[in-house]
A = this chain, B = another copy of it.
Amino acid sequence: MTEDEIVQAIATLCHPERGNVILRPVIIGIGDDAALWQPSRSHRSVISTDMLVEGVHFTRATMSLEDAGWRAMAAALSDLAAMGARPVLATVALGVPAAGGSAEILELYKGIAAAAQRFKVAIAGGDLSRSDAIAISVTVVGEVRPSNVKTRTGGKLGDVLAVTGELGASRAGLEIAAKPGLVDGAGCDAALQALRRPVPRIAEGRFLAASANVTAMMDISDGLSTDARRLCTASDCGADIEDVPVADSAREVAQVLGDDPARFALAGGEDFELLLAIRPRAFRYLAGRYEKRFKQKLLRVGRLVKGRGVAWRGTALDSLGWDHFK
């Protein structure tokens, strides 16, 4: 296939029905020098870029190319979720080995397009290049009401620190993918799913961002330990982690490996749950509304406190030397 033919095949994959509701704000999509869209007049725009590299973020042994495409899109969308934004469009730059040819490009795009359709984001353009290892760079643009924007900087002393789901499953998936047969059954499936098909918390992020009692929000991409420290640094405070919600699959894998399950949640990373600071008076009410809406709990993990750094059961997390777990 020539480059122009590949671009045509990608356009068909990404927009099975042109004029699709997802494409609505996009006026010019794939195929011209740049894509054109009409931003909402009442909202602000949000942009984030994420890069996934073969041999660094994934290997062909741990996931299919379709999974890798999904994962790249999901990771980028998770950053929009963390701002409380609704996704609008995405661009995709792809580096693929010459030997893989158009087949590998289209495999990757199958996963990219599946995630884009699931989370209602139009793929509006991109670039293709040869490269020795696969590199996928996804840029996503979203929109958010000015009053709903959440950053890392607004956390206040006494705020409850909470997460949108249990942690550690993605890291458990990585162990299982590296050593098939380590555990099996439901835990195995859940962990591999968390690794290969992570779900950005778009709807949850928009819901939580609408509350004035949520003072700070971010996504957990490098583990609760590292990301809580980032939120604390930005909000100029410290955090006490009291309780770490560990996914069942992470518990199973940790048990088999003789490791501490909490470590999977604190240092594992790439869970793409949201981490929030919430005014303490408002936590119970918000958690109740959240559970009713999403049929899952908003999980309290600790509190923002005076000082710097993140402590877990009285020990500074930095001192545990878990940073190299990734």
On A, residues with C-beta under 8 Å from B are 4, 27-28, 31-39, 41, 44-53, 55-57, 79-80, 82-83, 85, 89, 91-95, 124-133, 135, 137, 139, 141-142, 144, 149, 151-153, 218-219, 230, 234
A65 to B129 CA separation, bound complex (whole angstroms): 19
The secondary structure that dominates the A interface is: strand
Query: Assuming the A-B contacts A49-B126, A127-B50, are A82 and B36 also in contact, with contact meaning beta carbons closer than 8 angstroms in the complex?
Result: no
- The interface residues of chain B lying within 8 Å CB-to-CB of A83 are 32-34, 36
**In the complex, given contacts A51-B95, A57-B129, what are 13 additional A-B residue pairs having Cβ atoms less than 8 angstroms apart?**
A27-B44, A32-B83, A32-B152, A33-B80, A34-B82, A37-B47, A41-B41, A53-B130, A53-B135, A55-B131, A131-B133, A131-B135, A139-B139
A75 to B141 CA separation, bound complex (whole angstroms): 20
Closest CB in chain B relative to A147 CB, distance in Å: 13
Q: Is the CB of A48 within 8 A of B91?
A: yes
A317 to B146 CA separation, bound complex (whole angstroms): 53
- The interface residues of chain B lying within 8 Å CB-to-CB of A133 are 131-133
Task: Show 17 A/B contacts (Cβ-Cβ < 8 Å), sorted by A.
Answer: A28-B151, A32-B83, A32-B153, A33-B83, A36-B45, A37-B45, A41-B41, A47-B89, A49-B91, A49-B92, A49-B139, A53-B95, A91-B139, A93-B139, A131-B133, A132-B132, A132-B133
- The interface residues of chain B lying within 8 Å CB-to-CB of A89 are 47
**Partner of A34 from B51, B53, B79, B91 at Cβ < 8 Å:** B79
Q: How many copies does the complex hold?
A: 2
- The interface residues of chain B lying within 8 Å CB-to-CB of A92 are 49
- The interface residues of chain B lying within 8 Å CB-to-CB of A55 are 131-132
Q: Is the CB of B48 within 8 A of A34?
A: yes
- The interface residues of chain B lying within 8 Å CB-to-CB of A230 are 4
- The interface residues of chain B lying within 8 Å CB-to-CB of A218 are 32-33
A45 to B131 CA separation, bound complex (whole angstroms): 30
A285 to B39 CA separation, bound complex (whole angstroms): 35
Closest CB in chain B relative to A146 CB, distance in Å: 8
Q: Is the CB of A152 within 8 A of B49?
A: no
Q: Which residue of B lies closest to A55 (CB)?
A: B132
- The interface residues of chain B lying within 8 Å CB-to-CB of A41 are 41
4 A-B pairs with least C-beta separation: A137-B137, A34-B48, A33-B82, A51-B93
Q: Which residue of B lies closest to A126 (CB)?
A: B49
Query: Assuming the A-B contacts A32-B83, A79-B33, are A48 and B132 also in contact, with contact meaning beta carbons closer than 8 angstroms in the complex?
Result: no
Q: Is the CB of A50 within 8 A of B93?
A: yes
Q: Which residue of B lies closest to A91 (CB)?
A: B49
Q: Is the CB of B56 within 8 A of A34?
A: no
- The interface residues of chain B lying within 8 Å CB-to-CB of A126 are 49
- The interface residues of chain B lying within 8 Å CB-to-CB of A82 are 33-34
- The interface residues of chain B lying within 8 Å CB-to-CB of A4 are 230
Q: Is the CB of B47 within 8 A of A124?
A: yes
Q: Is the CB of B48 within 8 A of A129?
A: no
